[in-house]
Amino acid sequence: MSLNILEIRGLKVSRGGVRVLDIPELDIRAGEFLSIIGPNGTGKSTLLLSLAGLIRREQGEIFFHGKAVRNGAELLAFRRCLAMVFQEPLLFDTTVYDNVAAGLKIRGTNRAVIRPVVEEYLALFGIAHLSSRSARKISGGEAQRTSLARAFATDPEVIFLDEPFASLDPPTKESIIEDLGNAMRIKHTTAVMATHDRMDALRLSKRIAVMDGGRVVQIGPPGEVMHQPVNEAVAAFVGIETMLEGEVTGSSDGVLTVNINGTSVIATGEFDPGDKIICFIRPEHVTIFPGDHPSESSARNVFRGRIVKVQPIGLLYRIRINCGFFLNVHVTQQTMDDIPMEPGMHVLASFKATAVHVIRKA
């Protein structure tokens, strides 16, 4: 018996003659929280709908607990083991209570049995006090809580979440994420979430799959996806701003010397001299100091450079440095207050060899 609750093999979906999804193989493990991230229009929602048996697949098979799901009665039985929450709450024009009860009513569950179940889930998502209110007259956050309670009320084995937080304000999102995490723990539900927000994915996921152009290009634990992207597209999506092409000039015991635009950078990895490679460096892994005297930093890579651009990004500043190659760094407002940084300023930039993730150039 496999540990996978859902397996996809050879899935292909087209829209208007254009292939929008091509997934040769994807496994969902029982009890995990898998996030599917990627830019808009990359097929995340389509993948979710396919997994949930809600759109017709022209090719490919879905295995549920190792058994192939066929169309017809089997598909209905399969769908009744799942639930889905969309970006829009999509509530019915009735009370909050009746919304949460909808899945059970569809299954023909006895009224007396429904009541305690619905009440449990209303409480779990903090909306018990709204029970008799009209679903048209509650706030966006309350509506999404109702939608989540409705999905959980049928006790699904797998729950699919399609951008569930995208329309919520940050504090509402925070408290809903907390309640969702809580519900997942109590009910041991498996979840698959599509999101374009990598931070949301990091909050909840055991694994993250990155999609690009209808394909899953990388899947793994959050740390691996964030720090060791397999290609430039994934790197860009997970927030890596420095991507440097170069050539390996030395390699011993996993320590690499890389020539980037005439400058030697120390990195780690298993490559041979002469290999064409790309180095990825996360902006938060670089530190900068004013002036040009090397300090007591333990980092293997220390470079003199000049600031070429300072750009505020939310609560941080993005600083672009030319040190023979271009390096992006994020600094906090506090750092900026201590050392005001401006274009033209001379600085030292440093990062550890282990902060450099190296991939072979395609």
Partner 1 sequence: MDLILEGIKEAIRLLVTLDREVLGITWLSLEVSGLATIISLFIGISFGTMVALTRFPGRRLIVSIINTGMGVPPVVVGLFVSILLWRNGPLGMLELLYTPTAIVIAQAVIATPIVAGISLASIQKLPEALRLQILSLGATRFQMVRMLIREARLPLLAAVMAGFGGVISEVGASIMVGGNIKGYTRVLTTATVMETGRGNFDIAIALGVILLILAFAVNAILTGIQQRERPR
Separation between Cα atoms, residue 247 and residue 245, nearest integer Å: 7
90 near partner 1 (CB under 8 A): yes
231 near partner 1 (CB under 8 A): no
What six digits make up the tokens of 268?
């780690």
121 near partner 1 (CB under 8 A): no
Q: Which helix (H) or strand (E) holds 68?
A: strand 67-68
What six digits make up the tokens of 60?
């490919």
Number of residues that bind partner 1 (CB under 8 A): 26
Q: Site mask, partner 1, residues 26-55, x = CB under 8 A?
A: -----------------------x--x-x-
158 near partner 1 (CB under 8 A): no
Q: How far is CA 231 from CA 201, 309, 357, in A?
A: 19, 26, 11
**Least distance from partner 1 to the Cβ atom of residue 94, Å:** 8
**Least distance from partner 1 to the Cβ atom of residue 177, Å:** 21
Which residue in 136, 276, 346, 360 binds partner 1 (CB under 8 A)? 136
Q: How far is CA 34 from CA 6, 104, 149, 322, in A?
A: 12, 26, 20, 38
Which residue in 19, 65, 80, 300 binds partner 1 (CB under 8 A)? 80
15 near partner 1 (CB under 8 A): no
137 near partner 1 (CB under 8 A): yes
Q: Which helix (H) or strand (E) holds 256?
A: strand 255-260
SS3 content of the chain, % helix, strand, coil (to 5): 30, 40, 30
88 near partner 1 (CB under 8 A): yes
Parallel/antiparallel/unpaired status of strands 255-260 and 263-268: antiparallel
Radius of gyration of the chain (CA): 25
Q: Which stretch binds partner 1 (CB under 8 A): 28-36, 72-80, 224-232, 244-252?
A: 72-80
Which residue in 37, 84, 244, 341 binds partner 1 (CB under 8 A)? 84
What six digits make up the tokens of 256?
């690499």
150 near partner 1 (CB under 8 A): yes
Comparing CA positions, the residue from 347, 352, 351, 323 lying closest to residue 335 is 347
**Least distance from partner 1 to the Cβ atom of residue 107, Å:** 6
Binding residues for partner 1, per CB under 8 A?
49, 52, 54, 76, 79-80, 82-84, 86, 88, 90, 92-93, 102-103, 106-107, 134-137, 150-151, 154, 160
